[in-house]
Amino acid sequence: MPSAEMHFTYEAANAGELFQGDVLKRTADLDSALKEVHPHFAAKDDNRLFCVLTQSCDLVRRGAAQCGARYITIAAVRPLHVVVVRELESYLDNPIAEKLKLIEKKRRAKVEQFLERLLNNNEDDYFFLRKEVALGLSEDHCVFLKLAIPLKGDVHYKMLLEAKTAQLTESFQHKLGYLVGKSYSRIGTQDWVPDNVSEDEFKRLVEQILDQKEDFLWVEDYVFAKAIKELKTIPIGDVTIQMFKEIAERKEKEKAQRKECFLAESERVLLTLSIDPELVKKARLRMSNSSVLSGLIR
């Protein structure tokens, strides 16, 4: 069982054996091996760590003999923010949005759902590793399952074992194997909710991850389309974020003016019907606070 002081993904490491899901730190010997077989992986700064993808049963050693696997496959482990930025960038679907990093707010829910799947390890291509400073994970990371390379089992086993810094619990080893093998049965691992945190705490974590990306600007839907249309009249090289903010501020004021005109006219009409002024005042306040009405006024 994992230590109470560790995240539920991990357990106390067996320093004498390699297992699927073992997290490997960048040692001089590992870097040397990578430079020999795949220099790009060694040179890439984002590859902070590596993770063993080979099945545990193929990594078993019998006595002094080497493990059963002829090759041991390891995958690059990069900071979570690399994955988050990639996902956010997939929503930058026009040149102006791409340059200014503008995303419609209505798309935030989809990004949050992606993060929820990712954190619960239900997203293809990635395996989430929660930060655990004592295990060499100074921040949240993700295993990039498609960025994998083989190393020779008989040559590199000892070197990989010496680089081991963290070990997954057995159920999460199986879950990693499920993602690697594209199996069809779901591996039963602990989820964040309700096993370990409340739904509100998990939602706050997801929102915190997104809010850290301050260079991306979430834009109200009605402003987004109008501002993009206006900015398209300007050469893309001259477009700036300040221009967008000025347009957005103007659109916000125009919307507020339209809303005020609507409320004033509604109040006038209700008063002509001899409705109690106090009830009219309450009706105006409710309309003013209505999110549905606010969404209809563009």
Examine residue 265 and state whether it is found in any structural domain, yes or no: yes
Contacts of 178 by beta carbon, 8 Å cutoff, 6+ apart: 185, 186, 187
Query: Parallel, antiparallel, or unpaired for β 217-219 and 102-104?
Result: parallel
Whether 200 and 252 share a structural domain: no
Compute the average pLDDT of residues 284-289: 88
Residues 212 and 166 in one domain: yes
Q: Are residues 212 and 78 in the same domain?
A: yes
pTM above threshold 0.85: no
Same domain, 44 and 143: yes
pLDDT at 184: 36
Last residue of a domain, one of 154, 185, 217: 217
Q: Is 60 part of any domain?
A: yes
**Same domain, yes or no: 40 and 172:** yes
Domain co-membership, 212 together with 247: no
Q: Which of 159, 138, 127, 123 is nearest to 51 (CA)?
A: 127
pLDDT tens string 180-194: 876 434 455 667 777
Residue 3 lies in a domain: no
Please indicate, yes or no, whether residues 208 and 281 belong to a single structural domain of this protein: no
Separation of alpha carbons 265 and 7, rounded Å = 58
Beta strands in 71-119 (DSSP E): 71-79, 102-104
Residue 116 lies in a domain: yes
Q: Please check whether residue 232 lies inside any domain of the structure.
A: no
Between 45 and 63, the more confident residue is 45
Q: Say whether both 66 and 163 belong to one domain.
A: yes
Other C-beta atoms lying within 10 Å of the C-beta of residue 47: 18
Mean pLDDT, residues 35-49: 83
Q: How many residues does the chain have?
A: 298
- Report if residue 2 sits inside a domain: no
Residues 175 and 277 in one domain: no
Give the model's pLDDT for residue 201: 87
pLDDT given at position 64: 59
Q: Do 267 and 150 reside in the same domain of the chain?
A: no
Domain end marker among 185, 217, 249: 217
Residues 135 and 269 in one domain: no
How many separate domains does the chain show? 2
- Domain around 64: 10-217
Per residue in 10-40, pLDDT (tens digit) is: 999 999 899 999 999 999 999 999 988 888 8
Which residues are within 8 A (CB) of 23 and not within 5 positions of it... i.e. 6 or more apart?
49, 50, 51, 77, 129, 135, 136, 137, 164, 165, 166, 167
Residues 159 and 282 in one domain: no
Domain boundary pick from 217, 247, 270: 217
Task: Tell me if 231 is assigned to some domain.
Answer: no
